[in-house]
């Protein structure tokens, strides 16, 4: 007989149903908690990301501050320039079409495809979607061409940017320096930690040293875009204007600077000059010849310009010969020899030395220029007539004690000066230890000898210094022993002319100079400049302002005689020092002294110039 089965499920089926139900509950719980996390816990974060996907931020570059001379005249300011920019979001999606457009853009901008790709990559690493600047300072002909052919250049536009300009052309070019885009190595430096690729910084001169004041703060523009990355109507959300950089006022005197540069240029020879306040180290004028046009560095250069600026080792226009040179100084060094001998007790002020025109040191004869002899001379007269024999003798007497080298170092020769622009050279004061070490290493053919010190005593031999170091030495004599810190920065001002910061660096040190020695040396220099038989009397004899000056004629292997002149004025209580050197300019009185006269005429004014002409002074 057939028996009906039980309607309840078996144990196995019940277990299976329970497991499936548990899994469903778990999945539902997981989905619930995930939705809760997305909407409640992380909702604000994802909302912000969604909003960011609908906005674009663009940095607005700040104009750099102006650079002014001490009278407020503009040496460097800004002009608006046209920059070729590319919006990569608007490039064709097809790779072939994109490459074709980039090639057309490269032809317009005179850029290789490789350079364009690199520029785009650097820009997108900083701000993806923001326009990339390909080239600055494009001409209006390019603007017109793009407007007429816009369909061939989607995403390409021309925007206005700020570019440095120089109203006086090359005036003080080595002082003001130049700017350029920050490079990869500079981005790693702490002082540039807030900058990005494409930002401009000072590269040299005061543009570099005072960059933090001149640079300013960029602004920000945030706009709303659609799904294609295109700005929506009325989509500007935030606009923060940039804060322009502060202005930098320099210590440069415009008349002194103009006179010095003009005097150097008139010879058509390499050279340099420095005019400085002997009491506080303010540089009133500093220049180097040949010079360069900083405007050239602010725009793309031709190959000829690159060769002229960077690949001409003889002219070397980018080299500041006032601070980066390696020169012997000739007889302008004699004030150092005089101080070393007097302070070291090698001679007294009135003790004479017989100048017969030459002396013998071993088997080598050292003689006066032109072979002239001056008979018995003391310190003051030796400086007046520039007796080489007198100073040869002092150098010979001091050759084993390093007294001469010690005083050269005390006065700043062979040492960096602390000037507030980069690039200055340290130079060299040759000594027994230096040459003997070279000899031991096989780098020279002989050890130190008495003849080396004899040469150093008149600023010859292996001496390597520059006009700025010599200016500091003469300033120390003029100010009674203060080794000043030379500087070009005077103050930082805001756009309204309010002074925000002043620069007045402390002296490096003080050295003790016997007042009687100082007075005697200055008197010798005064007689050399403005009394008959003085080496520069023909130049400064009729100058109405009393000065104390020294000529120098330096011999350089492979070159003609180098002309030097060092002068402090007014005598006997000097305020300024001027150093001029002209490569292959001949005797000191032939080129450097007349150039120095023109600088002093500019400093002391037209009245001094006119009076000097009436009294028969040399016009230089």
Q: Write out residues in the chain with pLDDT < 70, as ranges.
A: 1-15, 17-19, 32-58, 123-130, 223-238, 299-302, 606-620
In a domain, 576, yes or no: yes
The stretches of 311-387 forming alpha helices (DSSP H) are 334-343, 379-385
To which residue do tokens 């945030």 refer? 222
SS3 406: helix
197, 295: one domain: no
User: Which domain-ending residue is among 225, 250, 275?
Assistant: 250
The span from the CA of 275 to the CA of 568, in Å, is: 10
In a domain, 23, yes or no: no
446, 547: one domain: yes
Classify residue 546 as exposed, middle or buried by CB count within 10 Å of its CB (0-12, 13-18, 19+). middle
225, 259: one domain: no
The end-to-end CA distance of the chain, in Å, is 147
Distance of CA 420 to the CA centre of its chain: 8
217, 299: one domain: no
In a domain, 399, yes or no: yes
Question: 144 is in which domain, residue-wise?
Answer: 56-250
455, 413: one domain: yes
User: Which domain-ending residue is among 208, 226, 250?
Assistant: 250
pLDDT given at position 42: 59
User: Which domain-ending residue is among 221, 250, 279?
Assistant: 250
In a domain, 279, yes or no: yes
Domain of 555: which CATH number? 3.40.710.10
pLDDT given at position 610: 43
C-alpha distance from residue 222 to each of 54, 133, 479, 547 (Å): 10, 18, 59, 64
pLDDT given at position 433: 96
420, 504: one domain: yes
The span from the CA of 577 to the CA of 182, in Å, is: 38
In a domain, 87, yes or no: yes
274, 246: one domain: no
243, 291: one domain: no
By DSSP bridging, strand 67-68 and strand 247-250 are parallel
62, 169: one domain: yes
The span from the CA of 413 to the CA of 409, in Å, is: 5
242, 276: one domain: no
pLDDT given at position 619: 28
In a domain, 134, yes or no: yes
pLDDT given at position 54: 65
555, 579: one domain: yes
236, 302: one domain: no
In a domain, 321, yes or no: no
The stretches of 220-369 forming alpha helices (DSSP H) are 254-267, 294-297, 303-310, 334-343
pLDDT given at position 14: 66
The span from the CA of 553 to the CA of 332, in Å, is: 8
In a domain, 33, yes or no: no
> In sequence order, what are the residues at sequence separation of 6 or more whose Cβ sits closer than 8 angstroms to the Cβ of residue 386?
331, 334, 369, 528, 535, 550, 551
Domain of 244: which CATH number? 3.90.1310.10
Contacts of the segment 265-269: beta carbons below 8 A, 24+ positions apart: 265/289, 266/595, 267/582, 267/585, 267/591, 267/595, 269/582, 269/583, 269/584, 269/585, 269/591
In sign, the C-alpha dihedral spanning 10, 16, 19, 22 is negative
pLDDT given at position 57: 67
In sign, the C-alpha dihedral spanning 116, 122, 123, 128 is positive
Backbone angles phi and psi of 229, in degrees to 5: 80, 10
pLDDT given at position 100: 85
Domain count, the chain: 2
Of the candidates 283, 282, 280, 281, the residue with the CA atom closest to the CA atom of residue 320: 283
């Amino acid at each position: 007989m057939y028996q009906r089965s039980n309607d309840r499920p078996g144990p196995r089926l019940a277990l299976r149903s329970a497991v499936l139900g548990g899994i469903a509950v778990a999945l539902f719980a997981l989905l619930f908690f995930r939705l809760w996390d997305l909407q409640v816990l992380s909702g604000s974060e994802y909302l912000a990301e969604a909003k960011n996907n609908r906005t674009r931020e663009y940095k607005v570059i700040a104009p750099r501050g102006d650079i002014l001379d001490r009278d407020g005249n503009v040496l460097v300011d800004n002009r608006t320039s046209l920059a070729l920019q590319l919006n990569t979001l608007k490039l064709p999606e097809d790779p072939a079409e994109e490459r074709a457009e980039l090639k057309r853009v490269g032809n317009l901008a005179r850029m290789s495809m490789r350079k364009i790709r690199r520029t785009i990559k650097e820009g997108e690493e900083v701000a993806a979607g923001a326009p990339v600047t390909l080239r600055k300072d494009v001409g209006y002909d390019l603007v017109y061409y793009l407007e007429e052919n816009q369909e061939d250049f989607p995403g390409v536009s021309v925007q206005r940017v700020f570019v440095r300009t120089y109203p006086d052309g090359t005036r003080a070019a080595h002082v003001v320096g130049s700017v350029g885009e920050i490079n990869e190595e500079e981005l790693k430096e702490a002082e540039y930690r807030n900058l990005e690729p494409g930002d401009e910084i000072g590269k040299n001169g005061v543009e570099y040293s005072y960059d933090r004041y001149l640079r300013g703060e960029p602004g920000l523009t945030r706009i709303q875009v659609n799904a294609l990355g295109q700005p929506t109507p009325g989509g500007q959300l935030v606009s923060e204007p940039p804060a322009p950089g502060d202005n930098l006022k320099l210590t440069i005197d415009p008349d002194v600077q103009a006179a010095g540069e003009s005097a150097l240029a008139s010879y058509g020879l390499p050279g340099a000059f420095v005019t400085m306040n002997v009491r506080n180290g303010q540089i009133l004028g500093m220049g180097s010849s040949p010079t360069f046009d900083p405007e050239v560095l602010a725009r793309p250069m031709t190959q000829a310009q690159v060769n002229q600026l960077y690949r001409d080792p003889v002219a070397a226009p980018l080299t500041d010969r006032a601070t980066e040179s390696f020169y012997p100084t000739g007889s302008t060094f004699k004030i150092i020899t005089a101080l070393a001998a007097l302070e070291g007790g090698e001679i007294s002020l009135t003790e004479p030395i017989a100048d017969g025109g030459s002396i013998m040191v071993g088997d080598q004869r050292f003689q006066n220029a032109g072979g002239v002899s001056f008979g018995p001379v003391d310190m003051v007269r030796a400086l007046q007539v520039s007796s080489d024999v007198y100073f040869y003798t002092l150098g010979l007497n001091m050759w084993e004690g390093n007294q001469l080298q010690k005083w050269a170092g005390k006065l700043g020769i062979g040492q960096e000066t602390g000037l507030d622009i980069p690039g200055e050279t340290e130079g060299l004061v040759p000594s027994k230890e230096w040459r003997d070490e070279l000899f031991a290493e096989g780098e020279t053919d002989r050890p130190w000898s008495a003849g080396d010190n004899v040469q150093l005593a008149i600023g010859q031999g292996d001496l390597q210094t520059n006009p700025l170091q010599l200016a500091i030495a003469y300033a120390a004599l003029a100010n009674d022993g203060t080794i000043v810190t030379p500087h070009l920065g005077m103050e930082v001002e805001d756009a309204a002319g309010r002074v925000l910061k002043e620069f007045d660096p402390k002296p490096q040190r003080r050295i003790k100079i016997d007042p009687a020695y100082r007075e005697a040396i200055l008197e010798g220099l005064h007689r050399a400049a403005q009394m008959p038989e003085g080496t520069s009397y023909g130049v400064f004899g009729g100058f109405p302002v009393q000065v104390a000056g020294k000529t120098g004629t330096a011999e350089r292997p492979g070159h003609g005689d180098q002309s030097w002149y060092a002068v402090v004025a007014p005598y006997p209580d000097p305020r300024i020092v001027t150093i001029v050197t002209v490569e292959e300019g001949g005797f000191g009185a032939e080129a450097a002294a007349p150039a120095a006269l023109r600088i002093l005429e500019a400093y002391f004014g037209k009245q001094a110039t006119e009076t000097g002409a009436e009294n028969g002074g040399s016009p230089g």
